[in-house]
């Protein structure tokens, strides 16, 4: 993989290459942007460039380049959230610091790539902060995050912040067609739904049949008998898919209720959207979207999936209720430990 193989992220690539050429590489970078836009690939490319021994850096042919690409280089360390809580803990940072403190075994520099920096526990973040404040001359840190606001402010202040934008729709479509073998027309639809995230697009393509079934259930209409008799999803992934589908459908419903059919994503269900748009308005759609987004956030905080699914169903039914339901809490409490 060369710099040119990373689709999008032209500004981050130019900035980092300029730092390399000028010999002004910072000891800590924080790459912030949505999931699936190439933050990790940019960090990996920097690790290869810093340690490449070929003529063109990175050459992708020398020993260090090949080892780093396979994630087996002894001087390039990868750290990501683990465990049921998906956090980076103090023990993880302590282990990393022990390796970073050593002289490079076979490379020019020790490089640490930390994924999802927002998942650092407070204790782990404070421990990492000490190293970022006084980095060694031969160590470099590349942190990535999809939620900059959740990162410890002192960590952010010790890193050079680089923002990574969502990928252009055409780039996502190209990835689907060239790497996943998607039909170009289907790839176009998925690219619109993926909101600039290549990983979200690939995941959606893999479960496209399930996603279409969710759409069909929305198109059936909000009849209470149908939605109350249908079993609720039970796994976290299934509930997440339901909520994501609901939010996309509500977005199209808002469009159909205001400007018509042209910009909708679910074009195959435009007649159902038009019928449903007759009983909702833009304000009600926006209200529902905010509540569904809050439920999606609650699901990430380890709330019971069945509880979230039940509240999502209630929200869906209330969207088409004659009188909007106001004052309902938009978040739910965590399960008892």
pLDDT one-digit tens code per residue, 194-236:
889 999 899 889 888 888 888 888 887 665 556 666 778 888 8
pLDDT one-digit tens code per residue, 238-288:
888 888 888 988 888 888 877 766 677 777 888 888 888 888 878 888 888
The pLDDT of residue 335 is 45
List Cβ neighbours of 141 (8 Å cut-off, separation of 6 or more): 27, 28, 29, 111, 112, 114, 131, 132, 135, 159
The pLDDT of residue 211 is 84
What average pLDDT does range 290-301 have in this prediction?
Answer: 86
The pLDDT of residue 17 is 92
The string over 218-257, giving b where at least 16 C-beta atoms fall within 10 Å of a residue's C-beta and e elsewhere, is: bbeebeeeebeeeebbeebeebbbbbbbbbbbbbbbbbbb
List Cβ neighbours of 227 (8 Å cut-off, separation of 6 or more): 313, 316, 317
Pick the CATH number of 3-163 from 3.30.2270.10, 1.10.760.10, 3.40.50.2300, 3.40.50.300: 3.40.50.300
The pLDDT of residue 260 is 63
pLDDT one-digit tens code per residue, 132-182:
988 888 899 999 999 999 999 999 999 999 999 999 999 999 999 988 889
Gap between the Cα atoms of 88 and 109, Å rounded: 23
The pLDDT of residue 328 is 41
Gap between the Cα atoms of 329 and 337, Å rounded: 22
The pLDDT of residue 223 is 56
**Following DSSP, what letter does each residue of 144-168 receive, concatenated?**
EES-GGGS-HHHHHTSEEEE-PPPP
What average pLDDT does range 296-302 have in this prediction?
Answer: 80
pLDDT band at 329 (very low <50, low <70, confident <90, very high): very low
- Site of tokens 């739910």: 332
Q: What is the dihedral of CA 152, 156, 158, 160, to 10 degrees?
A: 160
3-state percent helix, strand, coil for the chain, nearest multiple of 5 = 55, 10, 35
The pLDDT of residue 228 is 63
CB 332 within 8 A of CB 308: yes
Contacts 24+ apart (CB under 8 A), 213-219: 214/241, 214/242, 214/245, 215/245, 215/249, 215/266, 215/268, 215/269, 218/245, 218/246, 218/249, 218/269, 218/272, 219/269, 219/272, 219/273
Higher-confidence residue: 291 or 106? 291
Strands 76-79, 160-163: pairing is unpaired
pLDDT at 322 over 70: no
Please give the backbone phi and psi of residue 25, each rounded to the nearest 5 degrees, phi first.
-70, 125
pLDDT at 46 over 90: yes
pLDDT band at 32 (very low <50, low <70, confident <90, very high): very high
pLDDT at 314 over 60: yes
What average pLDDT does range 95-104 have in this prediction?
Answer: 86
pLDDT one-digit tens code per residue, 103-130:
878 878 899 999 999 999 999 999 999 8
pLDDT at 42 over 60: yes
The pLDDT of residue 324 is 42
- Tell me how many degrees the CA angle 23-27-31 measures, rounded to the nearest 5: 105
pLDDT one-digit tens code per residue, 68-81:
999 999 999 999 99
The pLDDT of residue 297 is 84
Q: What percent of the chain has pLDDT over 70?
A: 91
Q: Is 24 exposed, middle or buried (0-12, 13-18, 19+ CB in 10 A)?
A: exposed
pLDDT at 331 over 60: no
Question: Is the omega angle on the peptide bond into residue 58 within 30 degrees of 0, that is, cis?
Answer: yes
């Amino acid at each position: 993989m060369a710099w040119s193989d990373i689709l999008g992220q032209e500004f981050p690539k130019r900035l980092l290459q300029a730092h390399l050429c000028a010999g002004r590489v910072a000891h800590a970078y924080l790459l912030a942007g949505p999931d699936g836009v190439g933050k990790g690939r940019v960090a990996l490319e920097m690790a290869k460039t810093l340690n490449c021994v070929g003529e063109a850096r990175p050459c992708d042919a020398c020993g260090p380049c090949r080892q780093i690409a396979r994630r087996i280089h002894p001087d390039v360390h990868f750290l990501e959230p683990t465990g049921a809580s998906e956090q980076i803990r103090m023990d993880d940072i302590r282990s990393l610091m022990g390796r970073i403190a050593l002289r490079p075994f076979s490379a020019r520099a020790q490089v640490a790539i930390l994924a999802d920096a927002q998942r650092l526990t407070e204790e782990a973040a404070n421990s990492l902060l000490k190293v970022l404040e006084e980095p060694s001359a031969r160590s470099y840190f590349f942190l990535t995050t999809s939620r900059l606001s959740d990162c410890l402010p002192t960590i952010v202040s010790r890193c050079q912040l680089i923002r990574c934008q969502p990928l252009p729709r055409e780039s996502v479509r190209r990835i689907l067609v060239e790497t996943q073998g998607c039909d170009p027309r289907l790839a176009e639809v998925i690219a619109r739904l993926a909101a600039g995230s290549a990983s979200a697009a690939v995941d959606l393509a893999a479960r496209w049949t399930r996603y279409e079934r969710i759409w069909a259930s929305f198109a059936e209409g909000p009849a209470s008998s149908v939605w109350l008799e249908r079993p609720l999803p039970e796994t976290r992934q299934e509930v997440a898919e339901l909520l994501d589908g609901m939010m996309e459908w509500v977005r199209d419903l808002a469009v159909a209720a205001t400007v018509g059919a042209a910009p909708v994503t679910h074009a195959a269900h435009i007649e159902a959207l038009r019928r449903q748009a007759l009983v909702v308005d833009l304000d009600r759609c926006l209200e529902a979207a905010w509540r569904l987004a809050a439920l999606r956030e609650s699901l990430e905080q380890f709330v019971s999936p069945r509880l979230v699914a039940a509240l999502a169903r209630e929200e869906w039914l209330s969207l088409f209720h004659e009188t909007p339901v106001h004052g309902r809490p938009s978040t739910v409490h965590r399960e008892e430990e």
